[in-house]
Structure 1
Amino acid sequence: MKSYYLGIDIGSTAVKAMLIDGETLTPAFRVGVGYPTKRVSGYVTQAPSDWADAAASAVHGVIAEADNAGRSGNILGISLSAQGGSIFATDENYKPISDAVSWMDARAAEEAGELQSRFGEGVYLSSGWRLSPLDDASKLLWLKKHDSALFRRAAHYLTTADYYTGHLCGRYVYDPASAAITRLYDFMRGECSRELLEYLDIDAKKISPVMPSGTLAGTLTKDAADELGLDPGIPVSVGAHDQYCAAVGSGIRRPGQLLIATGTAWVLFGVTREPCFSPLHTAPCVFPELSGGDAKKYGVIATLSGIGASVERFAASCGYSLAESDRLAAALLEKRPDVGRYVPASPCEEGRGFLPHRAGTGITYDPVSGKDYAARYLALLEGAAFEALAAAEKLPLGAHPSVVMSGGAARSALWRGIVASAAASRGMTLELAREKDAPAFGAALIAAAGSGRDIMSAVGETETVPPVGEYAAWLGEAYLLWKKAILSE
């Protein structure tokens, strides 16, 4: 009989379940199930029961996939990848008494400003995250002000990670990264932020304990086993925040490695020897220990806001699809003008980019057509690659970090060729991660690590992306001009 590890990824809109082979630690079967999000008058909420229902459907589905393939087997361990920043109240028995306020909900702008005035950079330097209207601390202050009855009634406050871990094994715990993103956990001291909780008037006992990723949280209860169609007693390991699981699932596990996860925004995730705080407000936290004797490591997250969205919006405003835009721009790729005539551009949204941009730079959406459009579109894609390079240079990853690219832009041959060429101009190689469900894969690998397996060499499907001819050398010169113009360096 086959054996598997099960990873469950509760993302922002769907739950994905993945079985990986218990011997080879490679992906075997996967199923995704969506769940609803409520958006009313600017508020964004989700029902914790919907997370659990979607997870149960996904697990039933992935077990059925294995059965239908004639590869039924037993589950050796379970772990979880979870969205961060969604929080809700429960009674003393951990039963939800409110919907979860999503990380996408920005109702607490005034409260975030109040906490920033009170604590300044202290919250960032303890949790690794800046205060914002999206964070849990600000939302709890909002709750105290606007729904005092619920605030007083709450016996516990749970996030996605500790809620579903407890749902599986009866022990409501979560990992350092999932705790830190709430801003209520001081990962530098390894304890709840006493000063912040005191200001919010919240007893620390209402916040879940923190345990390292991969440690045993408990075993699958009979109720949870019946719900999932599994046997009770399966080990449940503490999982990780979804960005950390995505890194693990993409092979990013050692200092000096960098993941560029591309989408509406681009997220850079690096692994470092020391926590990386910076004026650019990178988000550091403890990285999971994935093998015996593994030295302490830290993850660091940097966000390039709006890159994917800006490029899509520019193409749409000019009447072009992304596929057509790629075709037009690719024709110009090896015919770039003399670098002295290069006009720098950036798709980072003005005022929202990760890096500090000089006033007046960025993207404008004046419609253009023909050759002018193709040249501007290509310059934006080059600008995106330069944004990633400039951000990577700010992280302590060593002289030549190992770079992996995933997500939407990685599916574009043009865009990944540009990133590979830009990376090559700085002495780096680019690998393409083919695993599209990296958070679920990472969670399953953490389950394997929790059982004592060494997962450091376990990888999904990747391929090396070669640079484009002499274009890399041209990009190297253009990058210096871009930094001078866009970053005022």
Structure 2
Amino acid sequence: MYFGIDLGTSEVKGLLVGPDGRIVAQAGEPLDVSRPQALWSEQDPAAWWAATETVVAKLREAQPLAWAQVRAVGLSGQMHGAVLLGAADEVLRPAILWNDGRSHAECDELTAAAPRLHQLAGNLAMPGFTAPKLLWLRKHEPDTYARVRTVLLPKDYLAFMLTGDKVGDPSDASGTLWLDVAARDWSDELLAATGLSRAHMPRLVESDRPAGVLRPALAHAWGLRGEVAVASGAGDNAASAIGIGANRPGDGFISLGTSGVLFVVNDRFRPNPASAVHAFCHALPGRWHQMSVMLSAASCLRWFTRLSGAANEAALLAEVAALPATSFAAAPLFLPYLAGERTPHNDAFAQGTLHGLTHESTRASCAYAVLEGVAFGLADGLAALQAAGTQVSRLSLVGGGARSGLWAQLIADVLDVEIVVHTGAEAGGALGAARLAWLATGADEATVCTKPDVTARYQPDSARHAALGARLQRFRALYPAVQSLNPRGAA
């Protein structure tokens, strides 16, 4: 039995996979995000560990026999977050998360301090990445910066709690701006640009390899016997790719979670930072991937559900499904930039906009605009990948948004690409984490990294694609029209 842990932004998920590769049980525990100031986004690492222990307790209670057979643990997690440890391995402050925008000025400073940044890291300096956060800390919290002895990514903090070892992996480390992505190793040159060295970093182990073993005392407390291997794991999107069998060049998927990601596997390092495309290591040796990222996706639907007073997201989606098709052309337009945006704008100050409201606008028509706006954001991401030389004809859909057939069809129509949903698609990175645990026990990639059964297919409608194209052009014109009204423009 293999246990996968996915440390998301809104939830810690746990998943058990049996020796036949099937999902045996799942459990989750919600997390809160603290936003003490504008652009800030933080979480307490202690809350991650408490949620992990709660998930373990739920799985033990639900599947005691299966749980007792766990032989390996794998990890997946939200990327880019800065977990800062002191000399006694104590957490020095709340973790600064991937969707935190405070270090926008430090991005320019990092680019100036590291002339080969784009060549080595393969990515633009963006506030969400880890390195600019340390420059911000050095400037604004110098006493804390001086006490930093280790910087860990979120899932690597869980690995530390599990094993007592400080271990990371190339896929997650790709999002720090400290990694030589082609070499899959830390770059002394990039670390020095933020006043750090390899001594501040965890050692790197490929995602499918054992990084350590579960601490004996913890294994005993969790009711596990024998030596339990812990795989180094992967960043959430690379882990999701392993979960749906995207391990060969050209395989790709869309993740509709808190953020929205379009991910395509490559056989080599193919950076194209000019279009705000991410080029990262994949979770398997000798493979890389390109990725476009929008910072708010399914979280936009959660936000509008709360704002509009709908009973829940399912009820709101039912209202959208009841709209006549003729009403879509008159619906408002929505810019889904609730937390700034990465691809294609790289603008921490971008804001959400609901444009075109009239007396005829309803909750349902505005909800449709939110779904469509996220789909249009994904279209911008696909265009950026295409400009970088990547072509796709089919994409899998994973994450919480994969539950909505309405949204899946809309995305297929907007992108003009077949969308497929697999068994366990909502499991996201947790399934990939469990598969990485399986690989860490010596299992064969061909056996483990199979594509789960397809449960639904959504073929693009050419007429609908053409109709949506006109609205997409208006969507793309809206951002430059309002950009100067956002805080930085007003300043």
Query: With structure 2 as the length reference, what TM-score do the two structures score?
Result: 0.80
Partner of 1:80: 75
Distance 1:269 1:185, change over 3 A: same
- Distance, in Å, in 1 between the alignment partners of 2:356 and 2:325 is 26
Distance 1:481 1:212, change over 3 A: same
Partner of 2:3: 6
**How much is the aligned-residue C-alpha RMSD, in angstroms?**
3.8
- Distance, in Å, in 1 between the alignment partners of 2:308 and 2:12 is 36
- Distance, in Å, in 2 between the alignment partners of 1:170 and 1:215 is 17
Deviations 1:210-256 (CA, angstroms, capped at 9, x unpaired): 12111121222213323433235211111001121122223333222
Partner of 1:301: 291
Partner of 2:407: 415
Partner of 2:209: 215
Deviations 1:350-402 (CA, angstroms, capped at 9, x unpaired): 98473369xxxx95445335488877765664564454345335436865433
- Distance, in Å, in 2 between the alignment partners of 1:353 and 1:36 is 23
Partner of 2:394: 402
- Distance, in Å, in 1 between the alignment partners of 2:377 and 2:34 is 34
Indicate conservation of the 8 Å contact 1:307/1:347, yes or no: no
Partner of 2:488: none
Partner of 1:245: 239
Matches within 5 A, 1:443-462: 443-453=433-443, 454=445, 455-460=447-452, 462=454
Indicate conservation of the 8 Å contact 1:405/1:433, yes or no: no
Q: Which amino acid aligns with 2:179?
A: Y
Partner of 1:354: 343
Greater Rg over alpha carbons, structure: 1
* Aligned mate of 1:53, from 47, 50, 69: 50
Q: CA deviation at 1:133?
A: 3.2
- Distance, in Å, in 2 between the alignment partners of 1:367 and 1:402 is 34
Larger deviation, residues 271-280 vs 321-330: 321-330
Distance 1:281 1:165, change over 3 A: same
Query: With structure 1 as the length reference, what TM-score do the two structures score?
Result: 0.80
Distance 1:484 1:195, change over 3 A: same
Q: Which amino acid aligns with 1:33?
A: E
Partner of 2:253: 259
- Distance, in Å, in 1 between the alignment partners of 2:345 and 2:104 is 22
Indicate conservation of the 8 Å contact 2:399/2:425, yes or no: no
Q: Which amino acid aligns with 1:108?
A: S
Distance 1:309 1:155, change over 3 A: closer
Larger deviation, residues 109-118 vs 316-325: 316-325
Normalized per residue, which structure has more helix? 2
Matches within 5 A, 1:20-419: 20-22=17-19, 24-34=20-30, 38-41=34-37, 44-67=41-64, 71=66, 73-92=68-87, 95-103=89-97, 104-119=99-114, 122-278=116-272, 279-289=274-284, 296-306=286-296, 308=298, 326=317, 330=321, 347-349=335-337, 352=341, 354-355=343-344, 364-370=354-360, 381-382=371-372, 384-395=374-385, 399-419=391-411
- Distance, in Å, in 2 between the alignment partners of 1:474 and 1:382 is 16
- Distance, in Å, in 2 between the alignment partners of 1:156 and 1:365 is 45
- Distance, in Å, in 2 between the alignment partners of 1:418 and 1:163 is 38
- SS state at 1:403 partner: strand
Partner of 1:474: 463
- Distance, in Å, in 2 between the alignment partners of 1:92 and 1:301 is 36
Partner of 2:457: 465
Partner of 2:482: none
Indicate conservation of the 8 Å contact 1:48/1:96, yes or no: no
Percent of aligned pairs with the same residue?
Answer: 23
- SS state at 2:433 partner: helix
- Distance, in Å, in 1 between the alignment partners of 2:359 and 2:316 is 11
Partner of 2:487: none
Q: CA deviation at 1:148?
A: 3.5
- SS state at 2:279 partner: strand
Q: Which amino acid aligns with 2:408?
A: R
- Distance, in Å, in 2 between the alignment partners of 1:401 and 1:127 is 28
Larger deviation, residues 403-412 vs 77-86: 403-412
Q: CA deviation at 1:445?
A: 0.4
Q: Which amino acid aligns with 2:81?
A: S
Q: CA deviation at 1:174?
A: 0.6
Q: CA deviation at 1:107?
A: 3.8
Larger deviation, residues 232-241 vs 72-81: 72-81
- SS state at 2:205 partner: coil
Indicate conservation of the 8 Å contact 2:75/2:232, yes or no: yes
Q: Which amino acid aligns with 2:208?
A: G
Indicate conservation of the 8 Å contact 1:124/1:130, yes or no: yes
Larger deviation, residues 205-214 vs 35-44: 35-44
- Distance, in Å, in 1 between the alignment partners of 2:323 and 2:84 is 55
Q: Which amino acid aligns with 1:287?
A: H
Indicate conservation of the 8 Å contact 1:257/1:401, yes or no: no
- Distance, in Å, in 1 between the alignment partners of 2:53 and 2:301 is 37
Distance 1:212 1:381, change over 3 A: same
- Distance, in Å, in 1 between the alignment partners of 2:35 and 2:383 is 39
- SS state at 2:168 partner: coil
Q: CA deviation at 1:175?
A: 0.6
- Distance, in Å, in 2 between the alignment partners of 1:29 and 1:474 is 41
Question: Aligned pair count?
Answer: 465
Q: Which amino acid aligns with 2:343?
A: F
- Distance, in Å, in 1 between the alignment partners of 2:403 and 2:438 is 29
Q: Which amino acid aligns with 1:299?
A: H
Distance 1:154 1:309, change over 3 A: closer
Distance 1:391 1:159, change over 3 A: closer
Q: CA deviation at 1:197?
A: 2.3
Q: CA deviation at 1:267?
A: 1.6
Indicate conservation of the 8 Å contact 1:91/1:97, yes or no: yes
